[in-house]
Amino acid sequence: GENVEQHPSTLSVQEGDSAVIKCTYSDSASNYFPWYKQELGKGPQLIIDIRSNVGEKKDQRIAVTLNKTAKHFSLHITETQPEDSAVYFCAAGPNDYKLSFGAGTTVTVRA
């Protein structure tokens, strides 16, 4: 099955700086790579996703890159704000349904 590793486990950044989270996966059959943000006491919320036919995708301050050859993908948050503080999860899976999640990165944005 798929095995997703996520680094770092915690990340503290100064407001306005960038945050980068990296994930690797093992199953070359994975074609879908979503990122979720989870705030305390809430369910994960999809913030951006990328599919295997795209190398990079951007949505305002959030961008995701994918390197299928190396089997890794990354989340980039620019101009971080205090409301970006949360736990971020990467996930990987085939096009049908089963997602495997990383262990999460706790991001703290210092004001």
Q: DSSP of the chain, one letter per residue?
A: ---EEEE-SEEEEETTS-EEEEEEE--TT--EEEEEEE-TTS--EEEEEEETT-SEEEETTEEEEEETTTTEEEEEE-S--GGG-EEEEEEEB-SSS--EE---EEEEEE-
Binding residue for another protein (CB under 8 A) from 26, 52, 78, 100?
A: 100
# of chain residues touching another protein (CB under 8 A): 25
16-55 footprint of another protein as x/- string (CB under 8 A): ----------------x-x-x----xxxxxx--x------
The two beta strands, 56-59 and 86-92, are unpaired
- Provide the minimum distance between the beta carbon of 15 and another protein in the complex, in angstroms, as a whole number: 25
Binding residue for another protein (CB under 8 A) from 68, 71, 101, 108?
A: 101
- Provide the minimum distance between the beta carbon of 90 and another protein in the complex, in angstroms, as a whole number: 9
Q: Which of residues 69-98 bind another protein (CB under 8 A)?
A: 89, 91, 93, 95-98
Q: State the residues that interact with another protein by CB under 8 A.
A: 4, 6, 32, 34, 36, 41-46, 49, 89, 91, 93, 95-104
